[in-house]
Amino acid sequence: MSEYTPVVFRPIATASVQFSISVGQLLANVAIKAFGELESHWAYRGPFAVQLPFCLFLVAGLPFSPETPCYLVRRGKRDQAKASLARLYGKGSRDDIETKVCALENTLAEEGNKDASLSSIMLCFRGTNRIRTMISTFVFLGLHCTGTICIVGYSTYFFQLAGLPTRRTFDLGVCVTAVALFGVCCNWVVINRLGRRKIYVSGIFCLTALLFTIGIIDVIPSGAGKTVEAASTVAFAFIYTFTVGSCAFAILGEVSSVSLRAPTVALATGMQAFCGITFNLIIPYMMNPDQGNLKGKVGFIFGVSALCAGVWSFFFVPDLEGRSFNDIDRMFVARVPPRKMGSYKLKG
């Protein structure tokens, strides 16, 4: 997606991945709310059935998806790359399309990742690509360090463990995902103004504070504790999608090198999938009353991991707002510290 869009729209387009995730979570909670109180087999079949139309939409849209110009240039298909650019940006001026193709060729030539003796995955861990791969994968690891699967993914169950009425927990589950969706929309407004680094780093530290708040409230129960815990969870959902949830995809689309974008994205999403599976297996054992029975005390565990992720992000998350892929390559080759890339002045 970062290869399709102009520089100014690049963060908004990549952050829309989180928008799609939030829409899916909202629809899932609405379906669970609608079917969850039924006593027939539709109580569990309904939520699965509502997913089928989206698979059909995806299959129907695939034939209309254009190939990226970068891929075509890398394969030496120059004319097809120009046709793809004309399809994406409009026919416009031939000179403008020619300039874009030349820029892609120059970027790929400067990266120089054409060693046929090594696989593309191995190249991700050589030279300057090593730190780019590390940043790409760790921004997604940081998402899971905040405990989003526990706080947002298990929000309905989390509310039940907090002692709220069952009917109200379903309502709050829908509320959490609706607020999360709103957070993504707010991110679109500010991501180009504030920058990815400021939003991501500040977001992780805000989530860290909320996680410790949730843990403290669970340790010191009070009459208003349930309400405060529920409010903290809703606030967590908003801050998560407004900051780290959306910015992680923007950072991934910019940090990875053009010639190794596919394997780098594969490694990053593989890291996300691995963490997702691991936490989905572990969290029920942490929270269930007949197992760990931690309930809101999981806030302490994820608070510590989020704090570690925040410290890492302060040093390694760059701000690449308005930078072309060629400029980004030059900064990594020059060994510019990631935290200073936003203010770095390129020469020449």
Residue with tokens 């309930």: 295
Distance CA 199, CA 244 (A): 7
The residue ranges of DSSP E strands in the chain, in sequence order, are none
pTM: 0.85
The answer to whether 229 and 214 are in contact (CB under 8 A) is yes
Distance CA 199, CA 147 (A): 18
What's the pLDDT score for residue 107? 74
Comparing 168 with 252, the larger pLDDT belongs to: 252
The answer to whether 339 and 318 are in contact (CB under 8 A) is yes
Distance CA 75, CA 140 (A): 30
In order of their start, the domains of the chain are 7-65+112-343 (1.20.1250.20)
- Give the three-class secondary structure for 119: coil
The 10s digit of each residue's pLDDT in 210-235 is 999 989 988 886 667 778 888 888 99
What's the pLDDT score for residue 322? 80
What's the pLDDT score for residue 88? 74
Q: Write the CB contacts of 252 (distance below 8 Å, at least 6 apart in sequence).
A: 14, 136, 139, 140, 264, 265, 268
Residue type, 216: I
Comparing 232 with 166, the larger pLDDT belongs to: 232
- Give the three-class secondary structure for 57: helix
The 10s digit of each residue's pLDDT in 132-145 is 999 999 999 999 99
**CA neighbours within 13 Å on the CB side: how many for 145?**
22
pLDDT band at 57 (very low <50, low <70, confident <90, very high): confident
The 10s digit of each residue's pLDDT in 193-209 is 898 999 999 999 999 99
Question: Could you tell me which of 297, 284, 313 has the C-alpha nearest to residue 149?
Answer: 284
Comparing 198 with 71, the larger pLDDT belongs to: 198
The answer to whether 133 and 267 are in contact (CB under 8 A) is yes
What's the pLDDT score for residue 311? 97
CA distances (Å), origin 86, targets 66, 76, 83, 211, 253: 11, 17, 5, 48, 22
Written as six digits, the tokens of 81 are 């790359």
The answer to whether 71 and 78 are in contact (CB under 8 A) is no
Q: Mean pLDDT, the chain, as a whole number?
A: 85
Q: Write the CB contacts of 203 (distance below 8 Å, at least 6 apart in sequence).
A: 239, 240, 242, 243, 244, 247
pLDDT band at 119 (very low <50, low <70, confident <90, very high): low
Distance CA 147, CA 157 (A): 15
Distance CA 298, CA 316 (A): 27
Query: Which range has highest mean pLDDT (167-181, 189-203, 211-225, 322-336)?
Result: 189-203
CA distances (Å), origin 334, targets 107, 285, 340: 15, 47, 12
Mean pLDDT over 51-60 rounds to: 86
Distance CA 253, CA 244 (A): 14
